């Protein structure tokens, strides 16, 4: 069971990293939990008590089918449903760029949870930079496949942008794990240039 759930997760390198970071027996909130893939794995592998938040009705149905508790809620309306410090970890995976107010959601994450875990697509990735620099066109990559005029990704940022926002909002970066598919070694050395994704663990300063 756990192996199969792990396999389901393997397409998303950021989720694999997040699953590894989260310790056993904690309570987590997964913002934009989708079909509940991460929560299902953590429930069975690490006895994690998880709660999902999802806006899509069909994904909620999938989550419930998988035995996951999920709350129908639009993250753009904030996390007012959730009390202070009610979770050990609050996860936001590849959703930050689609939010109206990513900065507010980040602040809310560390209010509701002791730590926030955020993964996002790094628009500073060199392939994206080349498209803009050489072709003079908005980047379209494997991770951001949408044309500029029709994309859910309205707030793309680079790793450097994200670090700056954290420092501005007095959010402490506890961990930073860049990932790239073919340039993993370089991603570790020059994340802002060679990482396609990055996972950050943040907390209140």
Partner 1 sequence: MKDSEGIVIPKNYLFGETPEDALPLDCGKKLYPVNIRYETYGHLDENGKNAILILHALSGDAHVAGHHKEDDKKPGWWNEMVGPGKPFDTKKYFIVCSNIIGGCSGSTGPRSVNPATGKRYNMTFPVITIADMVRAQRRLMEHLGIKKCLHSAGGSMGGMQALEWAFSYPECVQSVIAIATTSRLSPQSIAFDWVGREAIMSDPNWQNGNYEDTLPEKGLSTARMLAHITYLSDEAMYRKFGRKLQESETYSFDFTRDFAVESYLEYQGHQFVERFDANSYLYITRAMDYFDVSAKTGGNLTKAFSGIESQFLVVSFTSDWLFPTYQSKDIITALLNNGKDATYCDISSSYGHDAFLLEVDTLGRLISDFTNNQYMEALNG
Q: Does 57 participate in binding partner 1 (rule CB under 8 A)?
A: yes
Beta strands in 87-170 (DSSP E): 87-93, 113-121
Q: Does 4 participate in binding partner 1 (rule CB under 8 A)?
A: no
Among residue numbers 152 through 191, which ones bind partner 1 (CB under 8 A)?
none
Rounded Cα distance between 74 and 80, Å, is: 11
Rounded Cα distance between 81 and 93, Å, is: 20
Rounded Cα distance between 140 and 69, Å, is: 35
> Toward partner 1, which CB reaches closer, 61 or 175?
61
What burial class does residue 142 get, using C-beta atoms within 10 Å of its C-beta: 0-12 exposed, 13-18 middle, 19+ buried? exposed
Q: What is the x/- site pattern for partner 1, positions 27-56, by CB under 8 A?
A: ----------------------x-x-----
Closest listed residue to residue 98, CA positions, set 128, 121, 72, 125: 121
Taking CB under 8 A as the binding criterion, the range among 67-75, 135-143, 176-184, 189-197 that sits at the site for partner 1 is 67-75
Among 13, 17, 35, 82, binds partner 1 (CB under 8 A): 82
Taking CB under 8 A as the binding criterion, the range among 14-22, 82-90, 144-152, 155-163 that sits at the site for partner 1 is 82-90
- Residues of the shown chain interacting with partner 1 in the complex, contacts defined by CB under 8 A: 49, 51, 57, 60-61, 64-65, 67, 69-73, 80-83, 86
């Amino acid at each position: 069971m756990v192996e199969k759930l792990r396999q389901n997760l393997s397409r998303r390198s950021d989720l694999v990293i997040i699953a590894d970071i989260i310790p056993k027996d904690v309570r987590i909130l997964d913002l934009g939990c989708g079909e509940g893939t991460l929560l299902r794995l953590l429930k069975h592998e690490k006895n994690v008590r998880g709660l999902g938040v999802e806006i899509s009705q069909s994904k909620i149905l999938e989550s419930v089918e998988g035995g996951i508790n999920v709350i129908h809620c639009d993250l753009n309306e904030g996390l007012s449903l959730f009390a202070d410090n009610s979770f050990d970890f609050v996860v936001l995976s590849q959703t930050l760029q689609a939010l109206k107010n990513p900065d507010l959601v980040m602040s809310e994450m560390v209010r509701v949870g002791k730590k926030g875990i955020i993964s996002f697509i790094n628009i500073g990735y060199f392939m994206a930079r080349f498209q803009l620099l050489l072709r003079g066109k908005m980047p379209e990559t494997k991770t951001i496949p949408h044309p500029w005029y029709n994309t859910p990704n309205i707030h793309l940022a680079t790793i450097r942008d994200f670090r700056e926002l954290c420092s501005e909002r007095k959010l402490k970066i506890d961990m930073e794990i860049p990932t790239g598919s073919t340039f993993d070694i370089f991603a570790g050395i020059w994340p802002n240039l060679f990482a396609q994704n990055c996972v950050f663990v943040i907390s209140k300063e």
